[in-house]
């Protein structure tokens, strides 16, 4: 019976690890996407693209008609022009527009510096000033991207030219924390775009928040009707950190009830396991959502969340995977995977003399649970804590509380581990006592197996009676590990996505969010902390009574566990390995104290069916 329990327990551990690592996908070669998704166009580069016929606002887009011509045209003539593709003459005008240099204007506070561009009247990129140990970060949002963040497209989600239409800065309304763009289109339509960041040192509002409004004004004497609406590009974000499989590089949204995330497993498809769970690749995903509250593009440590305000509501999205080269990123790294997405907004009709607007709160900052929770509408779900999210959230608040007293994140994890161990001490002590009792009943257990070797059912019944009479749990050897599994996996997801640990030093570790690699041997990383963890777990297993007196199968399994955990944890974040190493040391201390106590050693062994004659058998020390 004890063999079965231990084997089942080990299977549960392996299944849990499998669930943690397997994301319903196998890596396949990326499916080629349209050139517009793969090519970054510099500010001075010219591009000629033939657009499909459009209606409504798409007709008024001056990416395919110059502003001077649009002002001379009547509303009727403009409406007629939208059903025509880009002509050769218009293409030359596009080239002229693209050759004009864009004006870059920056707004900044203590935490972010935002570069705005007249090419799209939107955000070119965002720099982070405090996320690398209190200093400027090497990661730059939307760096190397072809399209500006929060850029508008009137010709569908993939029209690069439309996203990059030329705007003018309204200097009279631009301040140190606010910038306003304006663009006059055909048919008497004007577009005004304003952005405002929190002032430096403002404690009332999140410093990473950008408030944005786009207003469509109909100055014509007749209504504007459109069946296409507009798309707002959230931006392009590339993979970062130790997220080699791209588990956290994705687009997500909240529809008022559920959060959904679309990433590599959708874009690249999956071969499944033996064909089970196989799916075709979808390099582009475009869907309608009846009520989209917010959308996000994110990687392992940063999130860029656009929350829809009181104006027009979003009714869908478009997202795709792309790739950024070292030249595009202006770095010496390899080509990296990236994701971009756009939100759809319907503009069915704007009456003469009226206007409609899109209002967004755009969070551009680190994935900090506390900050995201304050934004409302379940934006903390951006953390993607997974199945054990309940434990992750509790542990996150717990860790924040400790860190408010202890400034080091490493020591905060150590203190949290000690507190968790103290809370579980009575339960693990009971399990250790059960293991000691298991050692004492080995002789009568052997007699039962010998006596009923030809009657398995009777052997099982008598074995269970022996366990019950002597308060023995046959799975006690694995119980200390099992009871920590929810905590372990909760910590796994919490520490894996917590940007607070990024660049946080501890002892010889430079970054708690990364493995503590100290050297390489033939390109193989030498990580010290997982090796220490493996040694502590080996001694922990050696000290358990089951290792000294359990059956051969159980002993082999217990000996093998340290190697399993070493393999799984070798390339994990150092913060998680710090937790597991400290709890191993505390378990060794607890087992030492338990082994020294004589309370169980002095208990007599109860032989089933012979309770009046209790046999005293001392446990071997």
By DSSP bridging, strand 189-197 and strand 178-184 are: antiparallel
> Which of the two residues, 536 and 428, has the higher pLDDT score?
536
**Band of pLDDT at residue 272, cut at 50, 70 and 90:** low
Position 362 scores a pLDDT of 96
In the predicted model, is pLDDT for residue 90 greater than 60?
no
**Band of pLDDT at residue 598, cut at 50, 70 and 90:** low
Position 590 scores a pLDDT of 83
Query: What are the beta bridge partners of residue 209?
Result: 363
Q: What is the mean pLDDT of residues 91-118?
A: 79
Position 376 scores a pLDDT of 85
Position 265 scores a pLDDT of 78
Q: Which of 34-38, 148-152, 308-312, 482-486 has the highest mean pLDDT?
A: 148-152
Position 490 scores a pLDDT of 86
Q: What is the mean pLDDT of residues 285-306?
A: 92
**Band of pLDDT at residue 336, cut at 50, 70 and 90:** confident
Q: What is the mean pLDDT of residues 268-284?
A: 74
Position 88 scores a pLDDT of 53
In the predicted model, is pLDDT for residue 124 greater than 70?
yes
CA distances from 308 to 20, 363, 424, 515 (A): 33, 12, 44, 38
In the predicted model, is pLDDT for residue 607 greater than 80?
no
Position 82 scores a pLDDT of 30
Structural domains in the chain, CATH included, are 35-382 (2.70.98.90), 401-442+471-596 (no CATH)
Quote the CA–CA distance of 169 and 103 in Å, as a whole number.
Answer: 9
Q: What is the mean pLDDT of residues 292-311?
A: 91
Position 282 scores a pLDDT of 83
Position 41 scores a pLDDT of 34
Closest-CA residue to 250 (of 238, 242, 258): 238
Closest-CA residue to 79 (of 232, 228, 231, 192): 228
In the predicted model, is pLDDT for residue 589 greater than 60?
yes
Range from 341-350, 354-363, 462-471 carrying the lowest mean pLDDT: 462-471
Q: Which of 12-26, 356-370, 600-614 has the highest mean pLDDT?
A: 356-370
Q: What is the mean pLDDT of residues 146-151?
A: 91
In the predicted model, is pLDDT for residue 227 greater than 80?
no
Q: Where are the alpha helices (DSSP H) in 282-408?
A: 326-329, 369-374, 389-403
Position 329 scores a pLDDT of 78
In the predicted model, is pLDDT for residue 187 greater than 60?
yes
User: By percentage, how much of the chain surpasses pLDDT 90?
Assistant: 24
pTM over 0.95? The answer is no
Range from 278-282, 527-531, 579-583 carrying the lowest mean pLDDT: 278-282
> Which of the two residues, 510 and 49, has the higher pLDDT score?
510
The residues, ordered by sequence, that sit 6+ positions from 377 with a Cβ below 8 Å of its Cβ are 254, 293, 294, 307
Q: Provide φ and ψ at 284, rounded to 5°.
A: -135, 140
Helix %, strand %, coil % of the chain (to 5): 40, 25, 40
Q: What is the mean pLDDT of residues 357-367?
A: 93
In the predicted model, is pLDDT for residue 390 greater than 70?
yes
Element (H, E) at 561: helix 552-569
Position 608 scores a pLDDT of 65
Given a contact cutoff of 8 angstroms between Cβ atoms, the answer to whether 484 and 432 are in contact is no
Position 70 scores a pLDDT of 38
User: By percentage, how much of the chain surpasses pLDDT 70?
Assistant: 73
**Band of pLDDT at residue 10, cut at 50, 70 and 90:** low
Range from 92-101, 119-128, 248-257, 586-595 carrying the lowest mean pLDDT: 92-101
Q: What is the mean pLDDT of residues 599-611?
A: 61
Given a contact cutoff of 8 angstroms between Cβ atoms, the answer to whether 297 and 235 are in contact is yes
Position 333 scores a pLDDT of 73
């Amino acid at each position: 019976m004890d063999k079965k329990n231990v084997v089942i327990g080990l299977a549960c551990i392996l299944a849990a690890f499998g669930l943690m690592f397997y994301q319903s996908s196998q890596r396949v070669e990326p499916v080629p996407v349209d050139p517009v998704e793969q090519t970054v166009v510099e500010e001075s580069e010219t591009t000629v693209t033939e657009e499909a016929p459009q209606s409504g606002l798409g007709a008024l887009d001056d990416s395919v008609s110059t502003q001077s011509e649009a002002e001379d045209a009547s509303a009727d003539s403009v409406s007629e022009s939208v059903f025509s593709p880009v002509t050769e003459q218009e293409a030359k005008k596009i080239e002229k527009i693209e050759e004009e240099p864009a004006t870059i204007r920056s707004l900044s506070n203590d935490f972010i510096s935002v570069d705005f561009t007249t090419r799209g009247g939107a955000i070119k990129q965002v720099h982070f000033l405090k996320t690398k140990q209190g200093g400027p970060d090497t990661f730059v949002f939307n760096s190397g991207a072809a399209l500006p963040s929060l850029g508008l497209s009137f010709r569908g989600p993939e029209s690069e030219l439309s996203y990059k239409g030329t705007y003018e800065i309204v200097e009279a309304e631009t301040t140190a924390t606010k910038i306003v763009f304006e663009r006059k289109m055909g048919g008497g339509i004007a577009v005004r775009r304003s952005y405002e960041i929190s002032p430096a040192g403002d404690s009332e509002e999140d410093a990473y928040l950008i408030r944005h409004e786009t207003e469509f004004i109909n100055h014509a004497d007749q209504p504007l009707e459109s069946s296409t609406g507009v798309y707002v590009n959230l931006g392009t974000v590339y993979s970062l950190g130790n997220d080699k499989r791209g588990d956290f590089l994705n687009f997500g949204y909240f529809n008022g009830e559920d959060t959904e995330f679309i990433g590599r497993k959708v874009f690249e498809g999956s071969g499944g396991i033996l064909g089970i769970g196989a799916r075709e690749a979808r390099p582009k995903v475009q869907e309608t959502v009846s009520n989209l509250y917010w959308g996000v593009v994110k990687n392992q440590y940063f999130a860029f969340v656009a929350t829809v305000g009181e104006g027009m509501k979003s009714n869908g999205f478009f997202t795709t995977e792309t790739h950024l080269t070292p030249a595009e990123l202006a770095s010496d790294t390899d080509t990296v995977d990236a994701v971009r997405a756009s939100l759809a907004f319907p503009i069915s009709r704007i009456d003469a003399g009226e206007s409609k607007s899109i209002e967004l709160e755009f969070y551009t900052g680190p994935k900090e649970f506390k900050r995201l929770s304050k934004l409302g509408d379940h934006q903390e779900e951006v953390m993607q804590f997974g199945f054990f999210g309940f434990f992750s959230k509790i542990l996150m608040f717990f860790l924040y509380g400790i860190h408010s007293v202890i400034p080091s994140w490493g020591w905060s994890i150590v203190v949290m581990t000690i507190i968790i161990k103290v809370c579980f001490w009575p339960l693990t002590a009971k399990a250790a006592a059960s293991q000691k009792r298991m050692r004492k009943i080995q002789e009568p257990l052997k007699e039962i197996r010998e006596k009923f070797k030809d009657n398995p059912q009777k052997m099982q019944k008598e074995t269970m009676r022996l366990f019950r009479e002597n308060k023995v749990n046959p799975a006690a050897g694995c119980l200390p590990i099992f009871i920590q599994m929810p905590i372990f996996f909760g910590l796994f997801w919490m520490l894996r996505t917590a940007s607070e640990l990024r660049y946080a030093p501890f002892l010889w570790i430079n970054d708690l969010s990364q493995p503590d690699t100290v050297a390489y041997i033939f390109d193989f990383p030498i990580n010290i902390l997982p090796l220490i963890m493996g040694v502590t777990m080996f001694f922990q297993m050696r000290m358990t009574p089951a290792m000294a007196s359990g059956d051969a199968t159980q002993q082999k399994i217990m000996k093998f566990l340290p190697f399993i955990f070493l393999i799984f944890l070798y390339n994990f974040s150092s913060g998680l390995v710090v937790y597991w190493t400290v709890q191993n040391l505390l378990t060794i201390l607890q087992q030492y104290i338990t082994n020294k106590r004589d309370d169980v050693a002095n208990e007599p062994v109860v032989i089933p069916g012979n309770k009046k004659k209790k046999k005293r058998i001392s446990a071997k020390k």
